[in-house]
Amino acid sequence: MSLDQEGFDGSHPVVDQELVDAAIELCRSRFPGQDWSGAAALRLDNGAILTSVAPEVPNGAVRLCHETGAICEAFKLGRRVVASACVTLADEGRGFWVLAPCGVCQERLLAYGPDVAVAVPQGPDPREWRSLRLRDVQPHWFGRVFPEENWPLT
Ligand SMILES: [Zn+2]
């Protein structure tokens, strides 16, 4: 994949190694030595990267996803999200695994349209990843019945 501009392949945003590395770096700096951790990184339309982690809570039913904080920050800044990557470290020996966004985060990211790029595992090894657009991750998303000029939501 050749990138003519950081995080873009032609006119479409893509997840690049810098974005995945930002999530990994946050895991390492925020949870040093911890067996289980995770983090997310989002690229904005101005090229900036936002990162976030999911807070620990006593009731697992109210947990947030790693992406949530960065999605809220992007909205606060009035910027459009163009790419997202989420990683987890289940065991230092196995390395960082890329996680596709959960269904809820797909809905949150789809507010920025079906061309938002997300990192998904590539093949059976979740340390390997590739960039897909949300339209390809969720081709039958309910919002696709509406004209694409409605996206992103403003
Ligand atoms: Zn999620």
Q: What is the pLDDT of residue 3?
A: 46
Q: What is the pLDDT of residue 126?
A: 87
Percentages helix, strand, coil for the chain, rounded to the nearest 5? Answer: 35, 30, 40
DSSP SS3 for 15: coil
Distance 101 CA to ligand 1 centre (A): 5
Distance 60 CA to ligand 1 centre (A): 14
Indicate the Cα dihedral angle 110, 113, 118, 121, nearest 10°: 70
Q: Which residue has the higher pLDDT, 142 or 103?
A: 103
Q: Which DSSP string corresponds to 78-129?
A: T--EEEEEEEEES-GGG-EEEEPPPHHHHHHHGGG-TT-EEEEEETTEEEEE
Distance 56 CA to ligand 1 centre (A): 15
54, with CB counted inside 10 A (0-12, 13-18, 19+), is middle
* Residue entry with tokens 């595992």: 121
What superfamily would CATH give domain 13-144? Cytidine Deaminase, domain 2 (3.40.140.10)
pLDDT tens per residue across span 25-56: 999 999 998 888 999 999 999 999 999 999 99
pTM: 0.89
State yes or no: cis peptide before 101, omega within 30 of 0: no
% the chain with pLDDT above 90: 73
